[in-house]
A and B are shown apart, each in its own frame.
Chain A
Amino acid sequence: AQTVTQSQPEMSVQEAETVTLSCTYDTSESDYYLFWYKQPPSRQMILVIRQEAYKQQNATENRFSVNFQKAAKSFSLKISDSQLGDAAMYFCAYNGVTKDMRFGAGTRLTVKP
């Protein structure tokens, strides 16, 4: 079974600084997708960024980028120029052949003004 591990329960960053959230996963599949979702206090899950495993190029969405290391099964999220609105729970997720999504335990990000 696929597992997703987020080893950082909490992270803190100063406003305008950069922070990296870690995620590792375990799978025997060769074709899959990886995601980072944000869950603010409203609890609405918001897609931040996604990466297709077959693509070598790291995905980027404005201030959000990933470092996808397929061989190492690592998928970290970098947030640049952090803003107060970035404060939330961040979940790393895996989606493989079965289409059901497996989530990591989450990392709570605090942004200090």
Chain B
Amino acid sequence: GAVVSQHPSRVICKSGTSVKIECRSLDFQATTMFWYRQFPKKSLMLMATSNEGSKATYEQGVEKDKFLINHASLTLSTLTVTSAHPEDSSFYICSATPGLITSQYFGPGTRLLVL
């Protein structure tokens, strides 16, 4: 149980285009989902927290107009990188939690490369 999927696993796009990454909880309802960014050989940095049906809460320094997060249902959250630039290239990981203070279940990550 507690499986989280991400799609796509890898994406290459041209500078200026937008990319959407999906995060799904497959066997539980996720009241809260999180989006992280991980640079090579670095730790995970929290970008934003999203609760179903409400606006995401962004960490300081994360541009909310650039990284659009939608949590439309209890099993799906999306991260859209708008007008992507090469510096947005990174590994993006989502996680989901069924509620309260408990373990987070992580997706397998999405590698984004912006040319």
Contact surface of A with B, Cβ cutoff 8 Å = 31-33, 35, 37, 42-47, 50, 91, 95-106
| Binding-face segment, B21-29, B41-49, B63-71, B75-83 | B41-49
12 A–B pairs (Cβ distance < 8 Å), ordered by A: A33-B101, A35-B103, A37-B106, A43-B38, A43-B93, A46-B106, A47-B103, A100-B49, A103-B43, A103-B44, A105-B42, A105-B43
Bound Cα distance A12, B2 (Å):
31
Query: Is the CB–CB distance between B34 and A101 below 8 Å?
Result: yes
Complex contacts, B8 vs chain A, CB 8 Å? none
Query: Knowing A91-B44, A100-B49 touch, does A44 contact B109 (C-beta < 8 A)?
Result: yes
Interface of B is mostly: strand
Q: Flag if A45 contacts B101 (CB, 8 Å).
A: no
List of A residues within 8 angstroms of B95 by Cβ: 45, 101
State in angstroms the CA–CA spacing of A99 and B49 once bound together. Answer: 9
Partner of B108 from the list A42, A47, A91 (CB cut-off 8 Å) is A42
Cα distance A96–B105 when bound, in Å? 16
Contact B32 A44 (CB under 8 A): no
A104 adjacent to B43 (CB under 8 Å): yes
Q: Which residue of B lies closest to A102 (CB)?
A: B46
User: How many angstroms between the C-alpha atoms of A95 and B102 in the bound complex?
Assistant: 8
Closest Cβ neighbor of A32 among chain B residues: B101
A99 partner, pick from B42, B43, B44, B101, beta carbons under 8 A: B101
State the CA gap A103–B42 with chains docked (Å).
10
